[in-house]
Each structure stands twice: as C-alpha cells, then as structure tokens.
C-alpha cells in the first residue's frame, strides 16, 4: 500500500551473518536514493545501532569504492529488537527504535538480511515503522525470491574447495568429508557438491543412513575407485537424529503448560548441542564401516568471506536500486525480491518465517541422482 508522506531521509542497516554483496547492495540503495534527493544514513551493527542510536551519514564519499569489498561497512549483529537480551532476561525494545527513528528524522529503514532479519523487520513494521528489506544469505533460503546475494559467491568458493580436495582424496585413497554451511537448507551443499563432483551429498532436507553411504563408497571400491568426496551441510541429520528432532518439536508444539514447554525447549537445545560434532562422528563411522582412511575439512567462514562474484554484484545493485525506487513510491512493508529478470516487491508477511528449503523434486536433486551421486537415503 503506497504511503503518502514523502521520503526525505532513510536509514540502512545490515543484520545477521555477513556475506559478499552487502556493500554492493548498500551502494546500490544509497547512490540511487541520493540521486532521488533522499538523504541516506548508515546504521551501525544491525538493529543494535537502531537501539543505541549509532549512525553516520552515508554520503557519496562513504559509498565510493565499496562495490567489490566483502563484509559490510555498516557492521552487523544478530540482535532481535523484540527480545533484546539484557541483564537478567529479555526486553522488547521496539518502541525505543521507533523513538530513535523519529529523533533522527528517518522516514523509512532499509534492512538488508536473511530470514531472521525479515522476521525482525516485520515485527518493527507491525509497530508502524516504514520498512523495506533486501534478501541476502549464502544459504539461499529466503522465501519468495529466486535467489539472494551472497549465495553465488559462496557457491563458487565451496565448489573450488571441493575441486581442490580431489587431489588428496585420490592420491591418498581417502574419504574426504567436507562440511559446508547451511543449518536448515541444503542449497549451498547440493549446488557445490554437484558442481564439484562430490560422490555423496548430505543436506538437511534428506535424512541420511550411514550404512547406505558406506555401501555407496564400498561399491565405488568394487569398481576400483578407492577414494570418495562427501559434501555434508552442517545441518544434515541422520535418520535417527531427524526422528529425535521431529519428536522433540512435536512435543514442544503439543506442550500446554509453561513447565512442559520449558522441558521441550531444553530437550531441543540438548539435541542441538549433541548434534554439533556430527560431521566428525560421520567420518569416524565411515572409516570403521569402509576400512578407508577418512579426513574432515570444515570450510566455515571462508565461504562467507572476500569479494562478491560478478553475479552477486549485479543482483545486489539491481535489487538495491529497485529498493530506492520503491522507497520513493512509498511501498511498505515489502522485501525486494528477485523474480526472473525483475525486482519485485513482496509483502513482508509473505516472506517472514517462511524458510525456502530444497524441494525434494527439485531438478538439482534429480540431476545429482541421475549422475549416480549418493544422497544418503
Ligand atoms: O546464515 C548464514 C550462515 O552462514 C549459516 O549458514 C550458518 O549456520 C550461520 O550463518 C552461522 O553464522 P554465525 O556463526 O555468524 O552465527
């Protein structure tokens, strides 16, 4: 719904994990907004900067030379304004943010982030703040957009890493297990796994059986190929773990009393804790089951670092500049989504809380199976 008050000054923040393309997006929004005679203010460290009133002018000079730079010149954090952790508990500080925006004369705020940021933005929009978001994440799991900036760069980095692991795998006749980011969505692992020619790809959407994986690896041995590359997402679950998680989640949604809810929450947190180290456990199990030496490589933050790819620079600039146009038209609260060649506003309540996982009938899954890749099921 177009809003009538003219937009003369906006704030921009980046929230959640950093990724390549954030600065390109800040530049895209900022430069296009300035050309529309809108003043642009940078907010430091995500929503925390809005709470603590830490801002600086994002003028032409501040926006120069950042297109190719990784990370975010604004800084970031994972703070949730409706549940700010304070000494002895949590506080809803959304009214503080509204008051600070009024004090600074910000007519609207652009929030650049992943699925958590979309939720935080919607909660602020519900309080009356005029908000537009942009989708960023290396996980590619923001709903209602074809893709998010950060993903293409991470896909390239992860693919190159898998390429480089092949030499050691075949020279030493080893299983090399490589862990990629992605707690709830397997886009990065599946994409890089296929592009890098991994023999086994394990993603959160498909619970795996260690025995099936060992069988697939032994079958390769039977054909004289005594090495394998296993690409595993950090959130991939064995069938046993997937069942335990599902039961704990069911228990939480069925819980009627605060005590029962707390017990279910503790159980889920325990499961999360014991699941950490999953990749090492898988490697140990595979070594025992196949008799092959098994080594682990965890790519971690390497996947989020460095300069954005050309594709991410383009996407961030395209969505960022479209965002400036929507700001001036007064279209709130929306996320600027990539839909084919177009940038399209999608109402924020259709995005927030709706994670985009890999559909089981996705062509990438069919292609992986068609070339004989084991997906653990
Ligand atoms: O959201 C992107 C992401 O890179 C996830 O894949 C990963 O699980 C998470 O961020 C970890 O980020 P941090 O350690 O910064 O919280």
Closest residue by Cα to atom 9, ligand 1, is 17
Per-residue pLDDT of the chain (377 residues; tens, 9 = 90+): 555 689 999 999 999 999 999 999 999 999 999 999 999 999 999 999 999 999 999 999 999 999 999 999 999 999 999 999 998 899 999 999 999 999 999 999 999 999 999 999 999 999 999 999 999 999 999 999 999 999 999 999 999 999 999 999 999 999 999 999 999 999 999 999 999 999 999 999 999 999 999 999 999 999 999 999 999 999 999 999 999 999 988 988 899 898 888 888 898 999 999 998 999 999 999 999 999 999 999 999 999 999 999 999 999 999 999 999 999 999 999 999 999 999 999 999 999 999 999 999 999 999 999 999 999 99
| C-beta of residue 216 within 8 angstroms of C-beta of residue 368 | no
Predicted local distance difference test score (pLDDT) of residue 3:
55
The alpha carbon of 24 and the centre of ligand 1 are apart by a number of angstroms equal to: 20
Ligand 1 atom closest to Cα of residue 114: 1
- C-alpha span between 286 and 217 (Å, rounded): 9
> Which residues, 6 or more positions from 297, have their beta carbon under 8 angstroms from its beta carbon?
161, 165, 176, 177, 178, 179
Ligand 1 atom closest to Cα of residue 18: 15
| C-beta of residue 179 within 8 angstroms of C-beta of residue 335 | no
Question: Which position has the token pair 């009538």?
Answer: 4
Predicted local distance difference test score (pLDDT) of residue 2:
55
| C-beta of residue 303 within 8 angstroms of C-beta of residue 157 | yes
| φ/ψ bin of 332: left (φ > 0), alpha (ψ from -120 to 50), beta (otherwise) | beta
Strand pairing of 84-86 and 55-57? Answer: unpaired
By most ligand atoms within 8 Å of CB, the mutation choice from 139, 157, 187, 301 for ligand 1 is: 139
Closest residue by Cα to atom 3, ligand 1, is 17
| C-beta of residue 235 within 8 angstroms of C-beta of residue 139 | no
| C-beta of residue 149 within 8 angstroms of C-beta of residue 21 | yes
Examine the residue annotation and report whether 139 is marked as an active-site residue of this protein. Answer: yes
Q: How far is CA 208 from CA 132, 193, 201, 212, 282, in A?
A: 39, 16, 10, 8, 10
- Token pair for 90: 């949590």
| C-beta of residue 52 within 8 angstroms of C-beta of residue 99 | no
By most ligand atoms within 8 Å of CB, the mutation choice from 15, 16, 17 for ligand 1 is: 17
């Amino acid at each position: 719904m177009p809003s009538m008050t003219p937009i003369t000054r906006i704030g921009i923040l980046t929230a959640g994990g950093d990724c390549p393309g954030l600065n390109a997006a800040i530049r895209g929004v900022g430069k296009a907004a300035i050309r529309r005679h809108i003043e642009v203010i940078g907010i430091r460290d995500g929503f925390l900067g809005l709470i603590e009133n830490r801002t600086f002018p994002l003028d032409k000079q501040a926006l120069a030379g950042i297109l190719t730079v990784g990370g975010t010149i604004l800084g970031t954090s994972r703070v949730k304004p409706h549940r700010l952790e304070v000494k002895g508990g949590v506080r809803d500080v959304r009214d503080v943010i509204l008051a600070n925006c009024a004090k600074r004369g910000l007519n609207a705020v652009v929030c650049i982030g992943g699925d958590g940021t979309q939720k935080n933005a919607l909660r602020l929009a519900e309080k009356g703040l005029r908000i537009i978001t942009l989708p960023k994440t290396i996980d590619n799991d923001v709903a209602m957009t074809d893709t998010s900036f950060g993903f293409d760069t991470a896909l390239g980095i992860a693919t190159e890493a898998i390429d480089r692991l092949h030499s050691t795998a075949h020279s030493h006749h080893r299983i090399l297990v490589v862990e990629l980011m992605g707690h709830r969505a397997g886009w990065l692992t599946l994409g890089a796994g296929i592009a890098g020619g991994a023999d086994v790809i394990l993603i959160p959407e498909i619970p795996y059986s260690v025995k099936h994986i060992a069988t697939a690896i032994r079958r390769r041995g039977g054909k004289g190929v005594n090495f394998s590359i296993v690409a595993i997402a950090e959130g991939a679950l064995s069938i046993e773990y997937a069942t335990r998680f599902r039961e704990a989640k069911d228990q939480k949604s069925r819980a009627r009393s605060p005590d029962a809810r707390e017990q279910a929450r503790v159980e889920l947190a325990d499961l999360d804790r014991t699941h950490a180290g999953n990749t090492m456990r898988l490697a140990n199990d595979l070594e025992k089951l196949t008799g092959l030496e098994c080594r682990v490589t965890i790519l971690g933050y390497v996947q989020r670092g460095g300069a954005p790819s050309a594709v991410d620079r383009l996407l961030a600039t395209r969505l960022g500049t479209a965002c400036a146009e929507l700001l001036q038209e007064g279209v709130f609260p929306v996320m600027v989504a990539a839909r084919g060649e177009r940038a399209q506003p999608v109402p924020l309540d259709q995005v927030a809380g709706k994670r985009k996982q890999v559909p089981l009938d996705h062509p990438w899954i069919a292609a992986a199976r068609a070339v004989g890749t084991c997906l653990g099921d």
